[in-house]
Amino acid sequence: MKHKSIEFLRYVEDGRVPIERLYKAYDRLLEYGFSKILIATQVLEDGEEARKFPIYGYVGKKTGDALWIFSGVHGEEPPGPIAISRVADDIGKKAREIPVVVAPLLNPIGYFRGWRYQDSLRGGKGVNYSSVGDADAVILNPAAKPAGPYAEKVNPVATALIRFITDKLKTHPAFVSLDLHEDELMKELVVEDEKSAPKSKAGTGKPMIYIYTQGTVSTPNPIGDEILTIMESRGTLRVLKGQTRFGEPIVNGLVVAPRDGSLDQFMGESLMWDGERVVKKHATPHVFVVETPTLDMPLDDRVKIHRDILLHLLNRFKHLKSVSK
């Protein structure tokens, strides 16, 4: 179907911030000496009209052990990109003291349309159905003989993102990697201890939370516990014992070291496939994926959780680095 304008495709029903305002907010980082790097460009076509959506990475001047921030992998999950836009000045000021890398909006077409993937909703079948955060083509498959990755290739945006990551890890080796997400199917959690962790249902009870912890220090991890405590301070309740909808075990709010082929798993790997052979790479000690619930919690409240976590890690980074191995 042809429309008069691609603007017709813009998703606004959940009250998300217009994407133009996000781009403008992120560019405030340039005032603090960040470099702005074009990672890839998505193109949305509708009839005879086409609109480009650039994907940028922002790299702070200070080099060394860094805080990496990812967001917007899934377009249907707006709190992360919005939260980063609200704390852009805080990130910029703190980057004068600590190394920081930010990739705030990794799937702008998805954000614009309210779609999970760049060309489809969850469960859809599009040309580039795989996520922009897929890393199967560079993560080694331990069962492969001879050595090789899980997949021969991923979509072009994911390939470009991996290239950006591997390049910037050389100057800004990640100490903490944070990826901001949501789980709109949190209600399908299987909770084994109903008294201590009641199942969240739309309109009733406290929203349930958990996070993924990966990297070389996946558990026990005091930084992960601090993140969960921040989330609970906003009226949520961690799952003490249960499973995600993917069958991954949750213990005390943590899903530990899943091998899910994501950019987050890749951040914690010490080896990678470069297309021809196995090569070494920097392995991030602390890798976290935050999952806020969409049930029982308005968008602005979820944004505040992401904002609080960002500010905590920015302000406590030096201390966390001094006490965490």
Per residue in 128-149, pLDDT (tens digit) is 557 899 999 999 988 877 788 8
Mean pLDDT of 182-196: 58
In a domain, 47, yes or no: yes
Instruction: Tell me what pLDDT residue 147 has.
Output: 81
Q: For residue 70, is it within any domain?
A: yes
3-state SS, residue 50: strand
Instruction: Flag whether 218 is in a domain.
Output: yes
Tokens coding 250: 């949750």
Residue that is written with structure tokens 């017709």 in the block? 8
Is the alpha carbon torsion for 18, 20, 22, 28 positive or negative?
negative
Task: Please enumerate, as own/partner, the contacts of 125-128 that have beta carbons within 8 Å and a separation of 24 or more.
Answer: 128/155, 128/156, 128/157
Task: State pLDDT tens for residues 64-114.
Answer: 999 999 999 999 999 999 999 999 999 999 999 999 999 999 999 999 999
Q: Structurally, how many domains does the chain consist of?
A: 1
- What's the CATH code of the domain at 166? 3.40.630.10
Q: What is the pLDDT of residue 212?
A: 95
* Residue 59 lies inside a defined structural domain of this protein: yes
Q: Dihedral sign for Cα 150, 155, 160, 164, please.
A: negative
| Distance of alpha carbon 303 from alpha carbon 308, whole angstroms | 9
Please report whether residue 1 resides in a domain.
no
pLDDT above 90 for 188: no
Does residue 202 have a pLDDT over 50? no
14 lies in some domain: yes
97 in a structural domain: yes
Please name every residue paired with 66 in a beta bridge, in sequence order, or none if there are none: 174
Q: Is 68 contained in some domain? A: yes
By residue range, what is the domain housing residue 117?
6-323
